[in-house]
Amino acid sequence: MAGHSHSANIKHRKDAVDKKRAKIFSKIARKLIVESRLGGPDINTNPGLRLVFELARSANMTKDVIQRNIDKGAGIGTEGAIFEELMYEGYGNGGVAVLAEVLTDNRNRTAPEVKKIFEKAGGNMGEQGCVSYMFESKALFLIDPEGKTEDDIMEVVMEAEADDMEPDGDYFLVTTSPSSFIKVKEAFEAAGLKLEMAEVQRVSNVMIEVADIEQARKIQRLIDALEDNDDVQNVYTNHTLTDDVEKAMAEE
């Protein structure tokens, strides 16, 4: 979308995530436990666990904490709760699509909590599949060039066989398939590229531009409330902000 900087939205979200580091660690810990329980505690033979391990490293979780949660999932030491992965879908203000990835040990507790969050923020929770068809999983890397030219970075991207790279403000945004996350991340690290972000996200192919500041605030309140719920792992929407609204939100 003309004039829109995806990296600015990412940076805004990253700043908010940094303020909630303890909660983010709690969510990653749950994923480590689940993947270890499902596929075993060896990251070399369990690709799901290896992916969460790399995401934990990107979030600066210490190796001791990572290993402790892997052990918990494998039944080493204290027995933990049994978690299940769920997806709740719905709409925010103005018909913006919202996906909430959930990891819960009690769906009878979580479902009404999430429904209440949607309603309190002026949205509504929908049926399974009502908006998820608009999203696909992508591995995203936000690269700070830090003295490197676009050609330098493109060479590494091509060698890593990532899908796409595009300038994004002062950064470069690289996208590829989730299955290539580890391979591409390791290639970037080996080349000495500075990664501002390395995540697997759900990206919508149908975007809604929000030009009204009050609508943007309502959508953000819904996102914040969902992210504050302990059971919610990730929240995705299909909205983007105009430059004026983005600037006003950043100053609040």
Nearest to 41 by CA among 59, 61, 66: 66
Q: What is the pTM of this model?
A: 0.78
For residue 18, name the pLDDT band (cuts at 50, 70, 90): low
Task: Check: CB of residue 169 under 8 Å from CB of residue 182.
Answer: no
Residue 150: is its pLDDT beyond 50? yes
pLDDT of residue 210: 96
CA angle (229 as vertex; 225, 230 as ends), nearest 5 = 155
What is the helix, strand, coil percentage profile of the chain, to 5?
50, 25, 25
- Between residues 80 and 84, the one the model is more confident about: 84
Residue 2: is its pLDDT beyond 60? no
User: Structural domain boundaries of the chain?
Assistant: 6-73
Q: What order do you get walking across the sheet with 194-204 strand by strand?
A: 164-168, 171-176, 135-144, 194-204
The dihedral formed by the CA atoms of 171, 176, 179 and 180, expressed in degrees to the nearest 10: -70
Task: Check: CB of residue 209 under 8 Å from CB of residue 187.
Answer: no
**What CA–CA distance (Å, rounded) separates 50 from 35?**
9
Residue 4: is its pLDDT beyond 70? no
pLDDT of residue 235: 95
Task: Check: CB of residue 92 under 8 Å from CB of residue 219.
Answer: yes
Per CATH, is 6-73 categorized as 3.30.930.20? Answer: no
The tokens describing 97, both together, are: 């699509």
Residue 78: is its pLDDT beyond 90? no
Task: Calculate what percentage of the chain has a pLDDT beyond 70.
Answer: 89
Q: Residue 225 phi/psi, 5° resolution?
A: -65, -40
pLDDT digits 0-9 by tens, 44-67: 999 889 999 998 998 889 999 999
For residue 219, name the pLDDT band (cuts at 50, 70, 90): very high
Residue 79: is its pLDDT beyond 70? no
**What CA–CA distance (Å, rounded) separates 26 from 245?**
32
Read off the pLDDT of each residue in 163-171 and give the average, rounded to a whole number.
Answer: 92
For residue 19, name the pLDDT band (cuts at 50, 70, 90): low
Mean pLDDT of the chain: 88
User: What sign does the dihedral 192-164-227-5 (CA atoms) show?
Assistant: positive
Task: Check: CB of residue 251 under 8 Å from CB of residue 14.
Answer: no
